[in-house]
Structure 1
Amino acid sequence: MNDYQHILLAVDYSEHDGTVARKAKALSRKYQAWLSIIHVLDNIPMPDTAYGTVIPLDQDSGYGLLETEKAQLMQTADELGVDCAHRWLVWGVPHQEIVSIAEREKVDLIVLGSHGRHGLALLLGSTANSVLHDAKCDVMAVRLQDDESKRFI
């Protein structure tokens, strides 16, 4: 395993994010690496913004659902001690946006959750599978179990 300098945690606010976040935080401590966090919105209408697909975290959008997502990201990032400059809320296709931010920010390791799908779900793919195949850096897919805790740290 390489010495990682920059780790990107991808969260989707499922009930298992705490498990994935703890793993990412432990790795960032072990390697004394920057920890960044990304959440990709793919299921709410995109507000008209002059900022492109990256949604500014320091402005009120006026969209209730978007504000809820921003608040969740800020709370999670605060709990993990993620610097404000390393937080991204992005609208788009999750695997594409995660890989794009990872490349732009020179991330060494992407950490995200995976449910280890089988059968038809496996054939249809998942965000973790797509990131694994598209990323130019290492990817850690944390296998998720149904009884994992929601706590972050």
Structure 2
Amino acid sequence: MSAPYRKVLVAIDCSDESAEVLARAAGVIAGTEGELHLIHVIEPLALAYGADVPMDVTDLQSGLVKQARETACNYARQYQVPKERVHVELGSIEKTIVDKADGLDADLIVVGSHTRSGLALLLGSTARGLVPGAHCDVLAVKMDRKKKE
């Protein structure tokens, strides 16, 4: 039988579904010996919209980071995750998550996953994008949209 997960990196998008992803992660960790880390990645506006952003977006990005940190810390408090284990970073989403997992020597990455169709299916999801580059297990928590309706 394999050992329980001791260090888990939970990728959250700071939406209402983050609580469900966190709950699943808390359920697979090795009791009091385990460590939960949260990460929220914000893609730089230049990366998301191409290098030709016509204005200085530094203040806007700083505001997004500050707001995301506050939201992530609120989720972290619900699971007694200390602030130093809450990571809000700018970068490419999949690469930043994998790099953080490697840096933490994480046993598991937990991320929410939606059933996609149309254009979203062609573009792929964060969960699917993590698997090839991850050096640890990846748990995709299936988010059921019908439950919310």
TM-score, normalised by the number of residues in structure 2: 0.79
RMSD of aligned residue pairs (Cα, Å): 2.6
SS in structure 1 at match of 2:116: coil
Paired residue for 1:56?
A: none
Contact 1:44 1:65 survives alignment (8 Å): no
Structure 2 gap ranges (5+): 47-56
Structure 1 gap ranges (5+): 49-61
How far has the Cα of 1:121 moved from its partner?
2.4
Paired residue for 2:102?
A: 103
Quote the sequence identity (%). Answer: 32
Paired residue for 1:34?
A: 35
SS in structure 2 at match of 1:110: strand
Letter of the structure 1 residue corresponding to residue 42 of structure 2:
L
How far has the Cα of 1:103 moved from its partner?
0.4
Paired residue for 2:20?
A: 19
Contact 2:6 2:34 survives alignment (8 Å): yes
Give runs of aligned pairs for residues 1-153 of structure 1, distance below 5 A. Answer: 1-28=2-29, 30=31, 32-42=33-43, 47=58, 63-147=62-146
Task: Provide the C-alpha distance between the structure 2 equivalents of 1:19 and 1:147, rounded to a whole number of angstroms.
Answer: 15
- The aligned length equals 137
Task: Provide the C-alpha distance between the structure 1 equivalents of 2:147 and 2:72, rounded to a whole number of angstroms.
Answer: 20
Q: Which structure has the bigger radius of gyration?
A: 2
How far has the Cα of 1:123 moved from its partner?
2.5
Contact 1:5 1:31 survives alignment (8 Å): no
